[in-house]
Structure 1
Amino acid sequence: MTGADWIFHGGPVLTMDSEAPTTDAVAVADGRIVAVGASKVAEVKASHTEIVDLRGSALLPGFQDAHIHPVAGGLQQLQCDLSEWHSLDDYRQVIRRYAAHAAGEWIQGAGWYGDVFEGGFPDRLELDALVGDRPAVFVSHDAHGAWVNSAALRRAGITSTTPDPAGGRIFRDHAGQPTGMLAESAAELVTRLIPPPEGNDLEKALLSAQSYLHSLGITAWQDAAVGEALGIPETFPLYCDLDDRAQLTARVTAALWWDRDAGLEQIPELAARRKAAGHRRFQATAIKIMQDGVCENLTAAVLHAYRGQPGNHGMSFIEPAALTEIVGRLDRERFDIHLHAVGDRAVRECLDAIEASASREWDSRHQIAHIDLIDRSDVLRMRQLNVIANIQPLWARQDPVLVETKLPYLDDAQRSQHFAFRALADAGVALAMGSDWPVSSPDPIWGIHVAVNRTAPVADPHAADERSQTEPLLPGEAISVQSALHAYTLGAARANRLDHLTGSIEIGKAADLVVLDRDPLHTPARELSAIRPRLTMVGGQVVHESAGE
């Protein structure tokens, strides 16, 4: 080393290193952290060193998202994106305007919220009036449902006699006719008919998403469904190609999609994919398994029947015995297993499968994502089994979606279990945070704000009402700013199997860093969501810098 390429000083440095949690200066050379602390940093200063005076701003390890769908987010930005609005009148205006100029036969969009519709679900007649007879499909913000028009239903051959597919539901009116709302796998009856993206649209979507995520201080992520899944086209070759061409500036861990219909025979192909990745900044070390749906459409698997729905306990997409066999086989292949479980029954089934079949003889990073509900008896089990809680903090507030389309289906006991972050942390469960974007905003600062306050960020368009802003959801489940920062840095890095390289500011680790415009540890809790990134660096290269910096 001939001297540092970068020196950061003049502000607090939050290292996420438990042995030295704060310092006052950091030096970077050849993409790595080479010195920490002012006296050591001074020794590596050279004539070519770029000096960054933080001017009181804070330096942290780059944020990581442990559960995200960036290609879906990027494609949504290229289509009819409803994510910035939250009213039926706004949806009508945006859809009508988009449909008037949309190319191609199909009209596609995403991002709608059920609470804007009477009864919580959209109707085909509304969409018919907006787009006419062109087939149209709009995926819900949580990607667990699709709103389609009459033309799309006809294309798919969906009628009053069409049975619900396994793991899905066709919503019907009192006469038995499809309403245009399709939940879970039923959406695929329509989405599989949509022509694939043209030309380099997928690449444009991913690169656009990458740039956007860097602007939020994100330096790495785990793509939670790599494969043909959830209406998202195959992206594994794209990731490999971008990585080979050095256009992947983020570090990405793929959670390869588990096809429920393909069974155990798909494991050799998944292992081959893992071997094919890993050239530079892309690795495929995890497998994504969907065990249930979401509470809002009654497909999350719950221990107690939904309120007002006698006998309805939601859906387990994989039978528990089969799940145990799958988890055991994947664990023996040394795959990290990334399990989607929203309901408390699904969480228990996932823990049962891990306990019954997973080895304790290797450093696995098995994780359960979402955990909207968890029975208190299973909290300690997560710690005992060394399972990571992969949580989406932005959801833990009393916004209209939760209050109007979810809580009505939950009894008092279920409501008391909601997003139990503090209970998990107090039990010693490792926390990793992610956004599930485009389900919700990928802004880590917003997620931290909600995790600490249990109320919504001031600027969130989906939670602008007084209750969202001022009435915390189960305030006893709030966690500290330090815990939330850890979960978005070193905690997420561990879930992403990147903690040997990133997630903390330590000598020898990669210079994946973010500069925030103020110190989150000394910012009033209610003002956390106003913090903004000034600079984002990956491997010693600046990938985002705010205008004027």
Structure 2
Amino acid sequence: MFQGTIEIHNGRITRTKPDNGYLNIFIDGKLYEFRNSLAYPGFVDSHLHLLSGGELLFMPDLSLARSAEECVDIVSQSNFRRGNWIFARGWNQDFWTEKSFPTKRLLDEKFPDKPACLIRQDGHCIWLNSRAMEICNINSSTPDPEGGKIVKDPNGEPTGILIDNAIDIVRNYLPEYSEQHYLEFLEKSIQKLSSLGITAVHDMDVSPKYLAIYEKYFSNNDTKKINVRIFLSGKEIFEMGTVPQFKNDYCEVVGLKFYMDGAFGSFGALLSEPYSDHPYTKGLQLISEDNLNEYIYFTAKNNLGIAIHSIGDKATSIILQTYRKYLAKNLPKPKFFRIEHCQIVQPSDIPLFKELDVVASVQPSHFVSDYAMAKSRLGSRTKFAYPWKSFLDLGTLICAGSDFPVENPNPLMGIDAFINRRSFDLEQKFADETIPLDLALKSYTSFPRISLGEKEIQISSGNEGTLTILDTHFFETPKTEIKKAKVVATIVKGNLIYQAS
């Protein structure tokens, strides 16, 4: 953090003069006075979804619903549509009084003639009505796809709930938005993120069909921009056989994203032992070890990095053991190797991250919102969940993100989770896995850049003029108060893209 004078010219810092009690920033000769604020290296969110995040900001908010009935009421009062489909996101049955999955019945009663698709908060489960299933040819004879599940009632009829790879059946029938809609989603998402001090993001699982949207947005001189590193949908790219090239001053393709398992909320995270609250399942394995080997090799041959979604301990073990065997064959290595989420990890697997040079990409705000659910799902195994300090103690690089739109993208909430480890009840859980404030801050600034092989940003001459301006001195503030800090301004490559009123 920095106080004093900073001069930025043509997007780079040309001079700094440290001092106390004020912050003056000259951008191409123009003075911006931020009084007693402090400059930090620009915040980075190392795992989110720009387009679906922007989409969510236009949708009805289902996250506050406390029943399936309330979800349907909220949707019925909204004019938001995807083509002719009723479409919304954010429900979470674990926040409801009745914590079981909803069924098509309520949607059928309210929307008998229009297709309806409501996405669970984590994006790994959808809730359909009968009309949507009719359009998608989903019926009692439709088999579960590999790595997916169509939930059926005792009579074998689909209930309306589809999990993980089963969602792909529906994607082929969803109407596309217009190009203008997608541009508005990007703009809305970037507006939201810049107001939170976020200057760069790692944008996960982007379909190659949307690259033209990114190119149009980031080539427009009139749009506000942050730095974006794109991880393309690995499955789509592998099936295409070629990687589209895209790079400009702000945005470039850096990696491929794959999914080893699902999520806790829909019982899709792959565990080594059955779920404590659903003992008939251990979750879903979405890709085989053989396919994983092929994906790693394909990524390496295309000189890209790889990021693999893994929430359950069994999923993470499979990835690490497969990669260890892969490296033993002296095959080409990906540019970098990241495991995304790492929500529960066997203690014996944690040293392998450092040994194999694997980055742990974590979302600390998941701890806050998911702790009660994780405790139900895992029972006594919860002590192995969210092992942040264990990673750092063994020298593993961690980088932090939000998984927006799954979680609020505010980095201050993530930093608070790292250093205080409190769930919604405000009680600290497994305090030995909290991490120091300086490392929590680096997990949102320098570590995400290092995880991609990029140079970290420092507030010194010659560095990129990308800064987050806050009203708070983190190291002179009580730990429990840091999340109350306010973003004063956000600067990306010498462009002031957000300033608080």
TM-score (norm: length of structure 1): 0.84
Alignment CA distance shift 1:215-1:107 (3 Å):
same
Which of 223, 226, 233 is matched with 2:203 structurally?
223
Give yes or no for contact 2:8–2:26 (8 Å, CA) kept in 1: no
Query: Which residue is 2:231 aligned to?
Result: 255
Pair 1:244 & 2:215 matched: no
Deviation (angstroms), 1:182: 1.0
Which of 426, 431, 434 is matched with 2:398 structurally?
431
Q: Gapped runs of 5+ residues in structure 1?
A: 1-11, 14-22, 229-233, 457-467
| Alignment of structure 1 residues 144-293 onto 2, 5 Å | 144-227=124-207, 234-246=209-221, 247=223, 249-259=225-235, 263=238, 266-267=240-241, 269-270=242-243, 273=244, 276-293=245-262
Per mean C-alpha deviation after superposition, the further-off stretch among 303-312 and 527-536 is: 303-312
Look up the equivalent residue of 2:88 and give its one-letter code.
Answer: G
Pair 1:446 & 2:398 matched: no
Query: Which residue is 2:92 aligned to?
Result: 113
Matched length:
494
Which of 358, 361, 384 is matched with 1:390 structurally?
361
Look up the equivalent residue of 1:284 and give its one-letter code.
Answer: V
Give yes or no for contact 1:222–1:496 (8 Å, CA) kept in 2: no
Aligned residue for 1:146, secondary structure, equals strand
Sequence identity, in percent?
26
Aligned residue for 1:195, secondary structure, equals coil
Aligned residue for 1:482, secondary structure, equals helix
Which of 315, 325, 340 is matched with 1:369 structurally?
340
Look up the equivalent residue of 1:36 and give its one-letter code.
Answer: T
Alignment CA distance shift 1:129-1:249 (3 Å):
same
Give yes or no for contact 2:471–2:485 (8 Å, CA) kept in 1: yes
Distance 2:253 2:218 in 1: 12
Alignment CA distance shift 1:84-1:295 (3 Å):
closer
Distance 2:362 2:152 in 1: 33
Give yes or no for contact 1:396–1:473 (8 Å, CA) kept in 2: no
Aligned residue for 2:99, secondary structure, equals helix
- Residues 344-377 of structure 1, C-alpha deviations (whole Å, 9 max, x = no match): 1111222223323346988932111000111111
Distance 2:45 2:26 in 1: 35
Deviation (angstroms), 1:31: 1.1
Alignment CA distance shift 1:169-1:103 (3 Å):
closer
Deviation (angstroms), 1:152: 1.1
Deviation (angstroms), 1:204: 0.8
Which of 378, 392, 412 is matched with 2:349 structurally?
378
Deviation (angstroms), 1:531: 1.2
Alignment CA distance shift 1:103-1:432 (3 Å):
closer
Query: Which residue is 1:485 aligned to?
Result: 441
Look up the equivalent residue of 1:154 and give its one-letter code.
Answer: E
Query: Which residue is 2:466 aligned to?
Result: 512
Aligned residue for 1:339, secondary structure, equals strand
Give yes or no for contact 1:396–1:451 (8 Å, CA) kept in 2: no
Distance 2:63 2:180 in 1: 23
Query: Which residue is 2:116 aligned to?
Result: 136
Per mean C-alpha deviation after superposition, the further-off stretch among 124-133 and 55-64 is: 124-133
Per mean C-alpha deviation after superposition, the further-off stretch among 294-303 and 201-210 is: 294-303
Per mean C-alpha deviation after superposition, the further-off stretch among 374-383 and 156-165 is: 156-165
Distance 2:476 2:66 in 1: 33
Aligned residue for 1:296, secondary structure, equals coil
Q: CA RMSD in A?
A: 2.7
Alignment CA distance shift 1:49-1:323 (3 Å):
same
- Residues 238-271 of structure 1, C-alpha deviations (whole Å, 9 max, x = no match): 11222233446111111111117x75x644x11x
Alignment CA distance shift 1:25-1:426 (3 Å):
farther
Look up the equivalent residue of 2:493 and give its one-letter code.
Answer: G
- Residues 37-66 of structure 1, C-alpha deviations (whole Å, 9 max, x = no match): 338xxxx99998444444332210111111
- Residues 508-530 of structure 1, C-alpha deviations (whole Å, 9 max, x = no match): 11111010111122221222221
Which of 495, 505, 523 is matched with 2:477 structurally?
523
Give yes or no for contact 2:470–2:485 (8 Å, CA) kept in 1: yes
Deviation (angstroms), 1:537: 0.4
Look up the equivalent residue of 1:239 and give its one-letter code.
Answer: Y
Distance 1:200 1:242 in 2: 10
Distance 1:342 1:471 in 2: 24
Give yes or no for contact 1:327–1:353 (8 Å, CA) kept in 2: no
Look up the equivalent residue of 1:407 and give its one-letter code.
Answer: K
Deviation >6 Å, runs of 4+: 44-48, 359-363
TM-score (norm: length of structure 2): 0.91
Give yes or no for contact 1:365–1:494 (8 Å, CA) kept in 2: no
Distance 1:325 1:191 in 2: 25
Distance 1:277 1:204 in 2: 21
Alignment CA distance shift 1:45-1:217 (3 Å):
closer
Pair 1:409 & 2:374 matched: no
Look up the equivalent residue of 1:98 and give its one-letter code.
Answer: S
